[in-house]
Amino acid sequence: MVKRAKQFTVWLPNKPGIAAKFFTTLGKTNLLAVSVLDSVDGCAVRLVAGNSNQAARILAKAGICSTTQDVLVVDLPNLPGALQKLCRKLARAKVNIEYMYGSAGAKTVEAPVVLRVDSLAKAARALK
């Protein structure tokens, strides 16, 4: 399945306890995907929530600044070569993958992957 979603990006300092405090703040919303990119001074936390309106309200109420990006969430079969097939389809459609992240447990049937691409419409068509 391919669906559009809102991704929130928050910049947090790299200090002990910050992640615990941040995710405690978001404790009332279901997170479908999370990626953390670190640097010396801080980290960019990217997340896709099950309810983006709820996540936006929680972040705003807590005074946490965030940006939003439109992304695609693709449920891939949790099999060898599935990500390669996805990338090939996007390459054939001349869609640039700006970044992606995902994960799956060893026993899960599907593996969600979050994609930031240069054209959501072209990517969605290519992946149907």
Per residue in 86-95, pLDDT tens? 999 999 999 9
Q: Which residues contact 112 (CB under 8 A, 6 or more apart)?
A: 32, 33, 73, 74, 75, 76, 102, 103, 104
Same fold, 2-69 and 70-127: yes
State the average pLDDT over residues 20-40: 92
- Per the model's pLDDT, the better-predicted residue between 40 and 8 turns out to be 8
Which sequence spans correspond to the domains of the chain?
Answer: 2-69, 70-127
Tokens (6 digits) for 102: 């995902």
pLDDT surpassing 90 at residue 39:
no
**CATH superfamily placement of domain 70-127:** VC0802-like (3.30.2130.10)
* Segments in the chain forming alpha helices (H): 18-25, 52-61, 82-92, 120-127
pLDDT surpassing 90 at residue 77:
yes
The answer to whether 51 and 30 have CB atoms below 8 angstroms apart is: yes
The answer to whether 64 and 10 have CB atoms below 8 angstroms apart is: yes
2-69, CATH topology level: VC0802-like (3.30.2130)
Q: Model-level pTM greater than 0.75?
A: yes
